Structure 1
């Protein structure tokens, strides 16, 4: 078996020497260009998808902040032992740039069914609660 492989390798070496071929190592320019083009196509497809995912996540975070604020404000109104009226602080959204505020129509209502909280980020506002 070793002799067969050695004979084959020697024959290949002689053939290369006769034809003047050099050892081809590495990739050709065409192969590299094709790889770059394929990567470019993949990036062109992936970037818009990632941007859309980010926009959807921000919208969902805004809706969640408004819903959490409405829940907190309704809980503060429903607590018979609470002496604090619900405020925008009760509907805090954290440090992600979302600001929340308790929406009052004609003054603060003590009825849980009239609670409405708005959440705002970058000019987009979402309201949540049974009174919206």
Structure 2
């Protein structure tokens, strides 16, 4: 029995020495992985930037719609009131204004709420909501 265990151990040693040390990745495999990650990053970054721009535009649109709802509620309660939209400005990040349709007074049928970014605004970011827009 001792001889068979010794023969088995010798056979294992020979097999290991014949196979060589092939643990790890070759340089080609690593380069392929890096190239694949680079392609994925090149695709994902512009898509992510587009999603952020759309989300910002939608948030400004939502602020304008919320402002229109507040103005409607305030004017329905008191038609002579001047609605305040200060709670929609979010610490100076947005500028929200309400104005009547050109050539008329502020009423429930002819107001327009405009929302925009406070800094770095472009014409794409301006959103309007209300029956007078």
1:97 match:
93
CA pair 34-12 structure 1, distance change in 2 beyond 3 A: farther
Deviation, structure 1 residue 103: 2.1
8 Å CA contact retained: 1:69, 1:93: no
Q: Deviations over 1:22-56 (max 9, x none)?
A: 32221111111111111111111111111111011
Residue 63 of structure 1, CA deviation: 0.5
Q: Does 1:13 align with 2:9?
A: no
Q: Assess if the C-alpha contact under 8 Å between 1:98 and 1:119 holds in 2.
A: yes
Contact kept in structure 2, 1:101 and 1:119, CA below 8 Å:
yes
Shift of the alpha carbon at 1:96? 6.9
Match of 2:56 in 1: 58
- Report the counterpart of residue 112 of structure 1 in structure 2: 108
Q: If the length of structure 2 is used for normalisation, what is the TM-score? A: 0.76
Instruction: Describe the SS at the equivalent of 1:31.
Output: helix
The alpha-carbon distance between structure 1 residues 115 and 51, as it changes in their structure 2 partners (threshold 3 A), is same
- What TM-score does the superposition give when structure 1 sets the normalisation length? 0.77
In structure 2, relative to structure 1, the CA distance for the partners of 1:113 and 1:10 (3 Å cut) is: farther
Question: Structure 2 matches for 1:1-132, cutoff 5 A?
Answer: 7=8, 10-11=10-11, 13-15=13-15, 17=17, 22-80=20-78, 84-89=81-86, 92-95=88-91, 97-104=93-100, 105-106=102-103, 108-109=105-106, 111-121=107-117, 122-123=121-122, 124-132=125-133
Unaligned runs of 5+ in 1: none
How many correspondences in the alignment? 123
Deviating runs (4+, > 6 A) in structure 1?
none
